[in-house]
Amino acid sequence: MIVELFGLPASGKTTLAKQWEHQGWTRVRLRSRRAIFFYFSLFFFHHPLKTIRLFFLILRFTGGIARGYLKITNLFFYNLALYQKATRYKKVVLDQGPHQILLSLFEHEQSSQTLESVTRLLPRPSMLLVLSTDEKTRAVRLAERRVLPREQFGKTSALQFAKVSEKHFLLMQSYLREQSFVKVVPDSAMPEEVVYNTWSYVTFARMPTEKAHGVSIAHMCHSFGTLGKSVQLVIPKRKNPIKESVFEYYGIPENFDVVELPVADLLGGGFSHSIFFFIQRLLFLQSVKKYSPKPGVIYTRDAEIAYAFRKSRHVVYEAHRMPRGVFGWLTLSLVREVALVVCNSKGTETAFNNRGVVNTLVAPNGFDPALFSSPLSSRDELGLPEGFLALYVGSDQAWKGIDVFRAAAKENPEIHHVIVGGRTKKIEGNLVEMGVVPAHLVPRYIRHADVVVVPNTEMSEESVQFTSPIKLFEYLGAGKPIIASDVSSIREILNEKTAYFVRAGEVEALAHAISTLKQTPSQRESLAQESKKLGLTYTWDSRAKKIVDSL
């Protein structure tokens, strides 16, 4: 990520760059003609036509090589070489970059059309910070320097430059404000106020969605906003059976923007083959690049998005698993250069670390305490039976153990077993399936449960190693006694004080655990108290703060 500082002489560019350098940013310098020649040659190799056009444009405004030798040397060769060297680093602040040409080139006022023609040829940084230093402060600093700006150009040229640039600066500032990569900031602006203050959560996901990842996406956007960040959720515009807005469906305040980008909706049009899924992802990527999210942090769960913006933005990639085979290799290749990989579990982090990706942070999923503080609905209102109630929340993917829970219901005919989620909605004896329920209503069902279940099987790596089930954290948030499969992904969060563990995939063991807790109210109460205390550490807000602090 390259942040370029732009402003009049004595506006504080160098001082600010040094302060950023103390916070871990690289301040690039070129200390020899050989280095200038080397990096300028690299820049020319990458941008030959633009370089030639820019050279002749500068030549035109300097009056030829003989008259404008020093300007051409400093503004053209040095600044472009400096920018090329900056591309080698992850976080760079430039106090003398290519856009300084806009200030130092002209000795007469120019139109916005001329400024635009020059700007189009300049390499574009991730962010251009225009320093809005007041004139009194600048005058004091210039007096302290006891030199005129650009004194090496000669006294006459320096006086002309000072007069023209100060008068011309407001026009350029007005023009630059219209560019999406430009921010006007004070000369004391720090990275956390500028670079880390604007967050774009970019995802291919259909939003809102019945699937659990939608809960995480919506609540993380809200939590980043709660931390004072300027947040936008960037998603494709797709056909959606859910008609509520993101805020209505997930029950969260409107503290971030939702940007829907037009994309050919192949999946919504009935083209469900994986090749169409791949094509639509590529189309969305092109749409995002054309839209160009705001300068700052890009947060994404999509490896191709992470790769596309790894150089121009501060990219955070959220990983929920390590794919097998060629897809795993491809994922690693795409996200290796991002600023941070947020892993939902220790198992996910281990998988990335073992393959050479070390800039990782473990941040399991969470829950929203506000959804558990509303008045309690009646069981009759929710369609729940009276009596002792065991509850499972989640989809009907086999590895999540929903069939194990269904089978356990047959072993305990006197206990009501309720499933919230899944594709079916029916009642069969003591088994009640509620079907899909809007995300913000799920906590209402959990709060009525006597015991809650995480019945993962051992049939997949996803279940044993990678998963971080949102239902688990909602169970904790509700302070419910938990029965959980004894697999490592769940053991990362729970222990014997907070859960009753059973062998994964064993129907008899799960049925026995439910029956045992029904008969031992004191054990249920102990587990509930411990789970409630543990839940306080796993809110969406605390997860967001952990991620923000790591940057």
Query: Domain containing 449 — which CATH number?
Result: 3.40.50.2000
Give the single-character DSSP code of 267: T
Domain final residue, candidates 160, 190, 220: 190
Are residues 228 and 328 located together in one domain of the fold?
yes
CA distance 467 to 346: 10
User: Which residues have CB under 8 Å from 273's CB, separation 6+?
Assistant: none
Residue 547 lies in a domain: no
Are residues 39 and 168 located together in one domain of the fold?
yes
Residue 62 is part of a domain; what is its CATH number? 3.40.50
pLDDT category of residue 377 using cuts at 50, 70 and 90? confident
Residue 150 pLDDT: 46
- The residue among 124 and 61 whose pLDDT is bigger is 124
CA distance 397 to 403: 9
Are residues 246 and 288 located together in one domain of the fold?
yes
Give the single-character DSSP code of 539: B
Are residues 212 and 163 located together in one domain of the fold?
no
The number of angstroms, rounded, from the C-alpha of 436 to the middle of its chain's C-alpha atoms is 28
∠ CA 431-433-438, rounded to 5°: 150
Of the listed ranges 30-44, 144-158, 192-206, 277-291, the least confidently predicted one is 144-158
CA distance 458 to 504: 6
Indicate whether 266 pLDDT > 70.
yes
Residue 369 lies in a domain: no
Residue 172 lies in a domain: yes
Are the C-beta atoms of 519 and 546 separated by less than 8 Å? Answer: no
Are residues 70 and 94 located together in one domain of the fold?
yes
Are residues 345 and 397 located together in one domain of the fold?
no
Are residues 212 and 143 located together in one domain of the fold?
no
Nearest to 430 by CA among 393, 400, 395, 387: 387
Give the burial class of 413: count Cβ atoms within 10 A of its Cβ; 0-12 exposed, 13-18 middle, 19 or more buried: exposed
Residue 160 pLDDT: 45
Are residues 283 and 343 located together in one domain of the fold?
yes
Are residues 232 and 164 located together in one domain of the fold?
no
Residue 389 lies in a domain: yes
Indicate whether 550 pLDDT > 70.
yes
User: Which residues have CB under 8 Å from 371's CB, separation 6+?
Assistant: 251, 440, 443, 477
Indicate whether 154 pLDDT > 50.
no
Are residues 282 and 145 located together in one domain of the fold?
no
Neighbours of 182 (CB within 10 A): 20
pLDDT category of residue 73 using cuts at 50, 70 and 90? confident
Indicate whether 147 pLDDT > 60.
no
Q: What is the mean pLDDT of the chain?
A: 88
Residue 380 lies in a domain: yes
Q: Helix (H, G, I), strand (E, B), or coil: what is residue 436?
A: coil
**Percent of the chain's residues with pLDDT above 70:** 91
Domain final residue, candidates 163, 190, 217: 190
pLDDT category of residue 164 using cuts at 50, 70 and 90? very low
> pTM for the complete prediction?
0.84
Residues in the chain: 551
Residue 546 lies in a domain: no
Are residues 200 and 180 located together in one domain of the fold?
no
CA distance 317 to 303: 7
pLDDT category of residue 403 using cuts at 50, 70 and 90? very high
Domain span at residue 482?
Answer: 376-535
Residue 545 lies in a domain: no
Residue 453 lies in a domain: yes
Are residues 475 and 445 located together in one domain of the fold?
yes
- R_g (Cα) of the chain, nearest Å: 29
> What are the two backbone dihedrals, phi and then psi, of residue 207, each rounded to the nearest 5 degrees?
-130, 135
Domain final residue, candidates 190, 222, 252: 190
Residue 365 tokens read as 């999923």
Q: What is the pLDDT of residues 463-501, one digit of tens each?
A: 899 999 999 999 999 999 999 999 999 999 999 999 999
CA distance 128 to 403: 56
What's the N-to-C CA distance of the chain in angstroms? 13
Residue 109 pLDDT: 67
Please list, residue by residue across 116-143, b when 16 or more beta carbons sit within 10 angstroms of its beta carbon and e when fewer do: eebbebbbbbbbbbbbebeeeebeebbe
Provide the domain count of the chain.
3
